[in-house]
């Protein structure tokens, strides 16, 4: 029988974290920005059908970077969690905080107990009636959870992009303004000043969707033509 080498828990966790970080750093970035009109979610994503951004529930959206199969399974599990909870209690009882803490538990359990940690980073966003009631949670591969204020940046060039966003973020930003800021920030490592609308996947959680859009579901995916229209608005 071969002898098992001793590896200290510190070393083991560090190796796993390095492995996960490397996987995430290879991916393209996602920006989630709270603005006056709601919450804008923008991902650099050339594919029109494999989404990094998704609807979870009435007021809650999901954005992710990393391995597609891993975050897709987490997204689907999140939709199931939210739908079961909303069906058995009430739609009001589904909150981003509840969802984020279940995600944190799942990610933490995988990080410590499984063969390989998830190479993903998630954002859970909930739009409120007023901007102070917006919630942005950021979840990392080891299950740690952070309550962010104003915006979340995740993915390969998170630090560079985050610098651009934090420089110009303002709670008064309109939806178009937030989109412009995100497109500019996502181009951080490129020659261009801003990404074209066709290179991104974008969605929005509208504030007060009941009165403005006649639907309690605040999430809407923006198609490239919607983006072009939106960006043509006055700055």
Query: In the complex, which residues of this chain contact another protein (CB under 8 A)?
Result: 49, 51, 54-56, 70, 73-74, 76-81, 83-84, 86-88, 102-103, 106, 109-110, 113-114, 217
Contact (CB, 8 A) for 12 and 142: no
* Structure letter (DSSP) for residue 142: T
- Long-range contacts of 98-105, Cβ-Cβ distance < 8 Å, separation of 24 or more: 99/56, 99/57, 99/60, 99/124, 100/124, 100/137, 100/139, 100/145, 101/145, 102/78, 103/74, 103/78, 103/139, 103/145, 104/139, 104/143, 104/144, 104/145, 105/143
Q: How far is the CB of 19 from another protein (least distance, A)?
A: 16
Our CB check for another protein shows the closer of 114 and 233 to be 114
Taking the C-alpha atoms of residue 42 and residue 227, their distance in angstroms, rounded to an integer, is 11
Q: Nearer to another protein by C-beta: 79 or 231?
A: 79
Select 55 or 121, whichever has its Cβ closest to another protein: 55
Q: Residue 192 Cβ, how far from another protein at the closest point, in Å?
A: 29
Backbone angles phi, psi at 209, to 5 degrees: -65, -25
State the nearest-atom distance from the C-beta of 235 to another protein, in Å. Answer: 31
Contacts of residue 24, defined as CB under 8 A and 6 or more positions apart, other chains included, come to: 65, 66, 119, 120, 121, 141, 154, 155, 156
Which CB sits closer to another protein, 70 or 142? 70
Q: Which is nearer to another protein, 56 or 186 (CB)?
A: 56
**What is the nearest approach in angstroms of another protein to the Cβ of residue 5?**
25
Write down the least CB distance from residue 220 to another protein, Å: 12
> Whole-number minimum distance, CB 193 to another protein, in Å?
32
Cα separation, 97 vs 117, in Å, equals 23
Q: Which is nearer to another protein, 122 or 176 (CB)?
A: 122
Q: Which helix (H) or strand (E) holds 61?
A: strand 60-66
What is the closest distance, in whole angstroms, from the C-beta atom of residue 201 to another protein in the complex?
12
Residue pair 93/86 in contact (Cβ under 8 Å)? The answer is yes
Q: Looking at beta carbons only, is 76 or 149 nearer to another protein?
A: 76
């Amino acid at each position: 029988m071969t002898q098992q080498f001793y590896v200290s828990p510190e070393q083991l966790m560090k190796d796993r974290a390095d492995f996960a970080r490397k996987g995430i750093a290879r991916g393209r970035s996602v920006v989630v920005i709270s603005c006056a009109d709601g919450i804008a979610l923008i991902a650099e994503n050339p594919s029109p059908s494999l989404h990094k951004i998704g609807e979870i529930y009435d007021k809650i959206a999901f954005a992710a970077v990393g391995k597609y199969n891993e975050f897709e399974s987490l997204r689907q599990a999140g939709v199931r969690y939210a739908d079961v909870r909303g069906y058995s209690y009430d739609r009001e009882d589904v909150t981003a905080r509840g969802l984020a803490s279940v995600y944190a538990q799942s990610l933490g359990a995988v990080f410590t107990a499984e063969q390989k940690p998830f190479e993903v980073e998630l954002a859970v966003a909930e739009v409120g009636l007023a901007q102070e009631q917006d919630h942005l949670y950021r979840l990392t591969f080891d299950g740690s959870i952070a309550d962010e204020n104003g915006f979340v940046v995740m993915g390969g060039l998170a630090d560079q992009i985050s610098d651009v966003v934090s420089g110009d973020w303002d709670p008064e930003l309109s939806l178009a303004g937030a989109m412009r800021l995100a497109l500019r920030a996502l181009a951080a490592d490129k020659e261009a000043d801003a990404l074209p609308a066709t290179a991104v996947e974008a969605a929005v959680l509208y504030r007060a969707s009941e009165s403005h859009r006649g639907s309690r579901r605040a999430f809407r995916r923006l198609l490239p033509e919607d983006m072009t229209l939106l960006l043509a608005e006055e700055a």
